[in-house]
Chain A
Amino acid sequence: MTYLPDTVMLIRATAMRIDWPVLAALLLPPVGVMLVVGRNNDVQIVRSMSLLAICSGAVAAVSFDDEANAVTRSLPASHWCRQGAVGLIAATTCAAWWAVSTAVATSISDTVPAAALAVTGAALFLCGGVIGLVVSRRVWRPAGSWTAVSAFLLVVIAALLAWRPLTVLDPSDPAWARAHQALSRAIAPLAGAFVVALVAPDMRPRIGKRRSPQ
């Protein structure tokens, strides 16, 4: 059975190319905001957690569309295994973020709508993941651009502009419940799209197997 050692090697190689200090640093500003201005102020806590949710989505997007992924493309693993390892690490990281920030939020306020915020975080993570997976298969890469992150942020900005429920940041607003019901309904389609994008075969030529010119 060589599956386990191969899996460990794949996850290890995937994890080694991640900039962990920066990922940890991404957590600090939202938690700092909560600690500075969020005490018994649910609106500020919601703003901070929403920021963290957007970060989760951006991390998911960039994880799947990172040039460093080329490192693992030479490993003896199928495409969806490699992407699965990336997704596992990204999801674990974001879940850890979320656990820490939720713990901080609940410690400074008794009325934090943790479940609704978790729905937001999950929806944006899946959205970022889908965008990252789709964009990583692109055939055209504009020079010097952050394609996946930019595309994800563009989607977020467009959604914020066009879909009023996403701009509801006050849990006491009656629109809050409606917005999060809509988001919770979007989880299943997003998860489906995520899985489809994850297992879709890689159409790009493998490294070292480019067709030589005739």
Chain B
Amino acid sequence: MLTSPWLLIGVVATGAFLIRQIGGDPVVFHRDATFIASGLLPLAVFAYLAGFGIASLPRRSGVGDLLSTLPTSSRRRAAAGLAASLSAGAVAAVVCVGTVLWSMAADAIGRPPIGELLAGVAAVVVAAIAGLALGHRFGSIVSGLAPLVAFAALTIVLAGQGRMRWLNLFVEITSRNEVVDLARRVPWLHLAYLAAIAASLVASVVAVRPVRLAALGAVVAGVLGWAQLRPADSRDEARVTEFVTTLDRHQCAASGDVTICLLPGFDEWRDDIETEVSRIVDSIPESTQRSPKRLVLAQLVDSVPDEGYDPTFVNRTEVVAIGDRVGAAVALPKAQPIDASSLTALAAWRAGLPASPMATYLPSDEPMRGADEYCTRGDGLAVAAAFLAVAGTDHAADLVASTDHLVSPDGSATSLVLVGGVQLTLEQAQLLGELLDHPEIEKLATDVRALLDDDVALAQLRSAGALQAPERPSTYPDFVTVPPPCP
């Protein structure tokens, strides 16, 4: 199999795929390991094709009868062919180790999780075994495509199906923020699941009683697959809790008024974050700064899987506190300039303002809509500019420039939709418009703050329908370009 040129091409395609998967930012191993593993997908596809081509060659070229005259039994020949699949695994392991070493040379963070990476290598071996096993059964080239298409279809079906996607050869992690999912998943269980599938395929070719043994392997694989899907138990929740949710597990360090708390293993982000936080906080004019409050920035994992967890557990993701009043979710980026949404929250905090212009500032138990709802730099900047405008800086023009596409063509503020699907009500839009247009925005900002501190006024506003947490609209006004979903 090593001599098959398509395995070499698979390596090249895998290299390109890996660069796409993990390129750009420095790698954080216990988050990006699944990206490295799933980056082996092209290698798996070409290993399958190479295996099928090799195994089906005698049948396609009509030399099967000739081979059957050899003193070696057909099962032994098949077993030797299947052993060649290990060479595909060796190639995958080399690619995997090379990627890890390259990442480490590029200042990767954390330690590589062996289980996740081995699962990727094992998936390549399973694909090669599948190609070899099916190649022994089928002679037509087109027939080899059918399992490949079925595999792709199964991947499509299982993708985005919660934990069901763990039954795929390669586990799809749709967002790099889903670190918590990795803490929940047991890679060794997935490895055993893949091994059972491989054993079943091997047995179907070389065993004396292929049907029985293949069925046994399939049953074992099913059990192991089911074990991956079982509801989260207390141990799982404990593991996830240990990984993310409590501030106690964060490693905190104070820098002036700001305390930055990071998860274990992410400490190398601290300098970058401190630099950015200082830059932003210092950029707020002193005249608008309120008395310093305690600000705790904690690394937030904002995607806890819904299923299998106690609802109160799921909701315990709010780990950031601004002062003693409201929480604001500040998603801390890694090793890159802090993003616009975090800038929003920081500017708001420093100016003594709520975290966003929507209902998030109500000191109640209403659902919080934190600044991290703004998922692109453009909308984050719009909101950031709003706060800076309110704070009396000269950034109002930025907001005007960034909200051109948010109002109707005739200029009336009928609705205001921010990219990412966040919609402001009419009252909220008008309030924001007044804040922008008012010549004495600093005074108005003071009034707004006073308003927000006035429980009676807040109650009136709330009864009027303003300041409610808006729901994502099912349809958008005609003049609004439908925003892309958050990545």
User: Chain A interface (Cβ within 8 Å of chain B)?
Assistant: 18-19, 22-23, 25-26, 29-30, 32-33, 36-37, 44, 47-48, 51, 55, 58-59, 62, 66-67, 142-146, 149-150, 153-154, 157-158, 161-162, 170, 172-174
Contact = CB atoms under 8 A, between A and B. Distances in A.
Nearest to A25: B146
A87 B44 CA distance: 30
Given A30-B153, A58-B145, A145-B50, A158 B5 contact: no
B4 A144 contact: yes
A144 B484 contact: no
Contact of A157 (B13, B60, B154, B482): B13
B143 interface: yes
B54 A47 contact: no
B57 A144 contact: yes
**Among A25, A29, A36, A37: residue with most chain B CB under 10 A:** A29
Contacts of B57: 143-144
A115 to B, nearest CB: 20
A25 B146 CA distance: 7
A37 B159 CA distance: 10
B156 A51 contact: yes
Contacts of B156: 33, 37, 44, 47-48, 51
Interface string B136-156: 001011111110011011101
Contacts of A30: 149, 153
Given A22-B138, A144-B53, A153-B45, 4 more contacts: A62-B141, A67-B61, A145-B5, A170-B484
Given A144-B57, A150-B6, A161 B17 contact: yes
Q: Is the interface of A mostly helix, strand, loop or mixed?
A: helix
A143 B140 CA distance: 16
23 contacts: A19-B143, A30-B149, A30-B153, A33-B157, A37-B161, A48-B153, A51-B152, A66-B141, A142-B4, A142-B5, A144-B54, A145-B4, A145-B49, A146-B49, A149-B49, A149-B141, A150-B53, A154-B13, A157-B17, A158-B13, A161-B16, A173-B484, A174-B484
Most buried by B among A36, A37, A144: A144
B9 A150 contact: yes
Interface of B: 3-6, 9, 13, 16-17, 20, 42, 45-46, 49-50, 52-54, 57, 60-61, 138, 140-146, 149-150, 152-154, 156-157, 161, 481-482, 484-485
Given A19-B143, A26-B145, A161-B17, A145 B53 contact: yes
A157 B4 contact: no
A19 B153 CA distance: 21
Contacts of A145: 4-6, 49-50, 53
A59 B142 contact: yes
Contacts of B482: 172, 174
Contacts of B20: 161
Given A153-B45, A161-B20, A146 B144 contact: yes
A200 to B, nearest CB: 23
A150 B10 CA distance: 10
Given A67-B61, A157-B42, A158-B13, A51 B153 contact: yes
Contacts of B140: 19, 22
B54 A158 contact: no
A26 B161 CA distance: 24
- List of 7 A-B pairs having minimum Cβ-Cβ separation, nearest first: A29-B153, A144-B54, A19-B140, A22-B143, A144-B53, A29-B150, A33-B153
A87 to B, nearest CB: 16
Contacts of B145: 22, 26, 55, 58-59, 62, 149
Nearest to B55: A144
Nearest to B51: A144
A165 to B, nearest CB: 14
A147 B481 CA distance: 45
A146 B149 contact: no
Nearest to A19: B140
Contacts of A67: 60-61
Contacts of A37: 156-157, 161
B161 to A, nearest CB: 8
A44 B481 CA distance: 23
Contacts of B484: 170, 173-174
Contacts of A32: 153
Given A143-B57, A158-B13, A22 B142 contact: yes
Contacts of A66: 141
**Which of B17, B20, B142 has the most chain A CB atoms inside 10 A of its CB?**
B142
B4 A26 contact: no
A142 to B, nearest CB: 5
A139 to B, nearest CB: 15
Contacts of B5: 142, 145
Given A19-B142, A161-B17, A150 B49 contact: yes
A19 B138 CA distance: 11
B163 to A, nearest CB: 16
A148 to B, nearest CB: 9
Contacts of A19: 140, 142-143
